[in-house]
Amino acid sequence: MPKVGVKAPVIEKKVDQLLIPFQRFIDDQTTSSKVLLLTTIVALIIANSSYADSVYGGLHALFGLAVNDNLYQMSILHWVNDGLMALFFLLLGMEIKREVLVGDLSSPSSLIPVLAAAAGGMFFPATIFAVLNYNTEYIAGWGIPMATDTAFAVGILALLGTRAPLAAFAFLTGLAIIDDIGAIMVIALFYTDSINSFYLLLSAILTGVLFFFNFIGIRRPFMYMFVGILLWLSVLSSGVHATIAGILIAAAIPARPKHKPTVMVEKLSKITQRFQRIVINKGSRKPVLASKTQHELAEQLKVTANQATTPLRRWEQLLHTPVGLLVLPIFAFSNAGVQLDSSSLLETLNSTLAWGIFLGLIVGKGLGIPFMVWLSIKTGIGQLPKGLTMRHIVGLGMLGGIGFTMSIFITGLGFENSLETQAIAKTAILVTSLFAGVVGYILFKFAPTNNS
């Protein structure tokens, strides 16, 4: 009779070999961009098919829960935009915090050109849009061309391989993060209809509780998740857009380890020595499952290793895959489905809203970003990172014109009560983002390489 478990390692190894390509695909920088693009294409196909009403009509179905006589419900589309997207803003907030503390935004010398680029990438697009739509019903959309879609922009850079200098990734990420900070402030300040003082105060108290957890050294995810859900509900009820809760939670997440590296090394060494003594003991050669002590020591190793890392970094890595491969595609599918026919395209072409978005993203960012970087260099307050030239900055400016996710998000806020206006804006965003991506790719493709 064969021993139980003899074939398991062989099967496990074969399964691992089969999963390696999938894991590489998930870890690839361009994966989230590819999935987002594919989802957008599927959404457009369905929106222009006979299934459009049944699929997208279902997004307006109400969903929620009842507590006694109180009914709490929102449409499925509302749950996606206010609920799921809070996870995206949570991840975005953690990335911002890390970059500000230890990343490319932590050094003043490297921060100045990025700040200048971001300022140009917000001011010029908003101004161009506002000038074109002054005294029109579309003026509420001035925030649409301000942000940059990090996933798509960085994904295009990754497709370029060695043609894109390593410094370009850091510069574009920093630019997109600051643009997103600006967009978040715009959402919080200008896309809020009415404020409920009680829930706003409650939101402030709950945010204070999260920071208190950080101060006294609490690092259990459950505590932050529980208070975070209450904070999301409170922000939702306050009148401020609920996704801002994700930013507030991220700001409170601990960014320091529980133990210093020296303490960790000492603790790991003691646990490893105990584990080693058990393993080499001739009378105790048991599998981990059969040995309570071995199992406990293995758990201690895991806990100690976690205590040497930061919750901010761990939770950020934990959210990357579900947000990139689930949250954003669901958002894109729910919001990017617009009907594209001759009449709708003609209406878009003749709309100052569409031209405000197109010129805001293409001209505002395409020229505003490199102009402000050039100005910071000429005045002597800024310096380009090693490996980057102004030709690269022109390409980055054009890639900054990919405003997909945040632009569509702000469209929903600015024109919540007009689906027709949303359709025009979304069509313009899709066309503009495609144009910016192609032109940005070409600019980098033919720019001189200097990765040294």
pLDDT tens digit sequence for 424-444: 999 999 999 999 999 999 988
What is d(CA 169, CA 155) in angstroms, rounded to the nearest whole number?
A: 10
Closest to 251 (Cα-Cα) out of 197, 285, 213: 213
In this prediction, residue 128 carries a pLDDT of: 96
For a pLDDT cut of 70, what percent of the chain falls above it?
78
Angle between helices 404-414 and 419-445 (to 10 degrees): 160
Q: Is the pLDDT score of 25 beyond 50? A: no
* pLDDT single digits (tens) 365-396: 999 999 999 999 898 887 887 778 898 999 99
What is d(CA 354, CA 263) in angstroms, rounded to the nearest whole number?
A: 58
> What confidence tier does 216 reach under pLDDT thresholds 50, 70, 90?
very high
Report residue 342 as tokens.
């001759």
Q: Is the pLDDT score of 235 beyond 50? A: yes
What is d(CA 63, CA 47) in angstroms, rounded to the nearest whole number?
A: 22
In this prediction, residue 294 carries a pLDDT of: 66
Between 1.10.150.20, 3.40.50.11890, 1.10.150.130, 1.20.1530.10, what CATH number should domain 31-191+241-256+310-445 receive?
1.20.1530.10
Query: How far apart, in Å, do the first and last CA atoms of the chain sit?
Result: 62
Paired strand residues for 72: 65
Q: Would you call 75 helix, strand, or coil by DSSP?
A: strand
pTM of model > 0.75: no
For a pLDDT cut of 90, what percent of the chain falls above it?
29
Closest to 400 (Cα-Cα) out of 81, 161, 171: 171
Closest to 413 (Cα-Cα) out of 56, 62, 81, 64: 81
Pick 234 or 100 by higher pLDDT: 234
> What confidence tier does 202 reach under pLDDT thresholds 50, 70, 90?
very high
> What confidence tier does 452 reach under pLDDT thresholds 50, 70, 90?
very low
Q: Is the pLDDT score of 18 beyond 60? A: no
- Maximum Cα interatomic distance, the chain, rounded to a whole number of Å: 86
What is the residue-averaged pLDDT of the chain?
A: 81
Q: Is the pLDDT score of 170 beyond 60? A: yes
> What confidence tier does 127 reach under pLDDT thresholds 50, 70, 90?
very high
